[in-house]
Structure formats: structure tokens, C-alpha cells
């Protein structure tokens, strides 16, 4: 069913693994892709880790991966801010994301920032939320690395960037600019990184409103796996319909 696909964009959480456990058959799927000459790029909205950290985790779980094989919403956000000449931001994010921003030459500060950037902050505090809201109310534009409401884990879903943004939006009345999936810029950046036209790519993921929406709106093959967030009941109610639905990556190729 995938004769027209030359490359796969793979989500991570809920698609390739849950927590510290690879989803059964996922490493073998990646190996089959490469054996058949199909390229693989992991495309994740979860920017809580760096590409190097993700590659190390994937290797521990039985995948073959290098940092070049991973592109996160954090990478995309840094790319966008850099293209706009932004050098000072107030960031809600993990220490790993903070380090990536610093390495890109962006100063992290609450004093006269040019943007407020909200990511998947696993160390979120009330003081950080309060400061972000204060800055946004003062007129500082704000950016969300991605819109995911929940991150799947073995213990069940936990609040993700989209949930944090919903809280801030409810308090400030302002909506963020979103960078990651399903935005067209993320699709374009992924196609450039993997070196394959969008029409020859398949996006495989577990979220209808990010993975599947991005694929459908950017001329990609949309494949939903039921190993993470979405269920068949969700599909029936969603405006974003996948081309294919499989229980997990083990059922592809």
C-alpha cells in the first residue's frame, strides 16, 4: 500500500516508544525501511530532549539512530526565531531545551525579551507561569513550540505544551504562534532535512490533530498508529482522516 512512499517521518512518543519501552515491532520496522532503501526521519513535537539525547535513547531501545536523524519542534522554533533575528527570549522549557537555545546564540532572560517561548516544561513552576503571563500582558509576542495537549506515557497521558499554553491563554486572553506539527513550516523543514519531496513522504504518528493533520494538509501519506493517543473512536469524530490506520509500526511494510 506504500509503493509511492520513499521516506517515513516517524513520531516518537506513542509511535516508536512509550516511556522507556520500545513499542513492539518498531525497531524492526525502521530496519525494514532502510533495507528497502526508504529513508527515515524522526519528527517529534516533544522538545524536552535534544536530538543527541533522543538518538541515545533510541539506540538504547534497539533502534539505529544518529542526531541527524531527529528533528524536534525545538529545532524548528530555534530555526524560525533565528530567521527573524530574535536573540532574547523568556523560555518555559527543560534544561535540555534551554541549552539548545543558548548554543544557538539566544539569550534566556526575563528582562526585555523579544519573545516568550513555551515548550514542554517538565519543571514548570507557578513563578515561571506568572512571569510568562506578565510579559505577554505587557505586549511581548509569544510562541508555542507545539500544540500537543498530552504526552503519552506508560502511566497514561500527562499535560504537554498545548495544555500549558491553554492555561496561559485563559489567563492572558492572547493566543500563541505555533511552530511544530501540524504547521506547514514543520512539514517543509522535514522534507528538506530528509531530502524527499512531501508527495513521496509518509507521516506516521498517533495524534490526529498534529501528525495526521500535517500530513493531509501538506500532500503526504497520513498513517495513524493506535499505539499512543488516538483511538478508532477519535478517528470517527475527527476532521483529519488518515489514509491508513494500523495498530502499530509492526503492521507496516
Residue pair 209/238 in contact by the 8 Å Cβ criterion:
yes
User: Which residue among the candidates 13, 69, 75, 121 is catalytic per the annotation?
Assistant: 13
User: Which residue among the candidates 11, 121, 148, 211 is catalytic per the annotation?
Assistant: 11
Q: Does 160 qualify as catalytic in the annotation? A: no
In the chain, count H helices and then E strands. Answer: 9, 15
Residue pair 214/208 in contact by the 8 Å Cβ criterion:
no
Q: What angle do CA 153, 46, 122 make, to 5 degrees?
A: 70
Residue pair 182/146 in contact by the 8 Å Cβ criterion:
no
Q: Does 13 qualify as catalytic in the annotation? A: yes
Grid cell of 119 as nine digits: 515548550
Quote helix, strand, coil % in the chain, to nearest 5: 40, 20, 40
Q: How far is CA 149 from the centre of its chain?
A: 12
> What sign does the CA torsion over 76, 81, 84, 87 have?
negative
> HEC states along 191-213?
HHHHCCCHHHEEEEECCHHHHHH
Q: Which residues contact 31 (CB under 8 A, 6 or more apart)?
A: 64
Q: Which of 143, 149, 173 is nearest to 161 (CA)?
A: 149
Q: Catalytic site residues?
A: 11, 13
Amino acid at each position: 500500500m506504500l509503493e509511492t512512499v520513499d521516506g517515513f517521518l516517524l513520531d516518537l512518543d506513542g509511535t516508536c516508544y512509550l516511556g522507556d519501552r520500545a513499542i513492539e515491532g518498531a525497531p524492526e520496522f525502521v530496519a525494514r525501511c532502510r533495507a528497502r532503501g526508504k529513508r527515515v526521519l524522526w519528527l517529534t513535537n516533544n522538545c524536552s530532549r535534544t536530538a543527541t539525547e533522543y538518538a541515545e535513547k533510541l539506540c538504547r531501545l534497539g533502534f539505529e539512530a544518529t542526531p541527524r536523524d531527529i528533528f524536534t519542534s525545538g529545532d524548528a522554533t530555534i530555526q524560525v526565531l533565528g530567521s527573524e533575528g530574535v536573540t532574547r527570549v523568556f523560555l518555559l522549557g527543560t534544561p535540555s531545551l534551554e541549552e539548545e537555545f543558548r548554543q544557538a546564540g539566544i539569550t534566556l532572560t526575563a528582562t526585555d525579551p523579544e519573545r516568550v517561548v513555551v515548550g514542554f516544561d517538565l519543571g514548570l513552576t507557578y513563578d515561571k507561569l506568572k512571569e510568562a503571563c506578565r510579559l505577554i500582558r505587557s505586549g511581548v509576542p509569544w510562541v508555542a513550540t507545539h500544540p500537543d495537549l498530552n504526552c503519552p506515557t506508560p502511566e497514561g497521558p500527562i499535560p504537554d505544551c498545548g495544555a500549558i499554553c491553554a492555561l496561559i491563554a485563559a489567563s492572558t486572553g492572547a493566543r500563541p504562534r505555533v511552530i511544530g506539527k501540524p504547521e506547514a513550516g514543520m512539514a517543509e523543514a522535514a522534507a528538506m532535512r530528509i531530502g524527499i519531496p512531501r508527495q513521496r513522504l509518509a507521516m506516521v504518528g498517533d495524534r490526529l490533530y498534529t501528525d495526521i493533520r500535517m500530513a493531509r494538509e501538506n500532500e503526504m501519506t497520513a498513517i495513524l498508529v493506535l499505539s499512543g493517543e488516538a483511538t478508532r473512536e477519535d478517528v470517527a469524530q475527527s476532521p483529519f482522516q488518515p489514509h491508513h490506520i494500523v495498530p502499530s509500526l509492526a503492521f507496516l511494510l
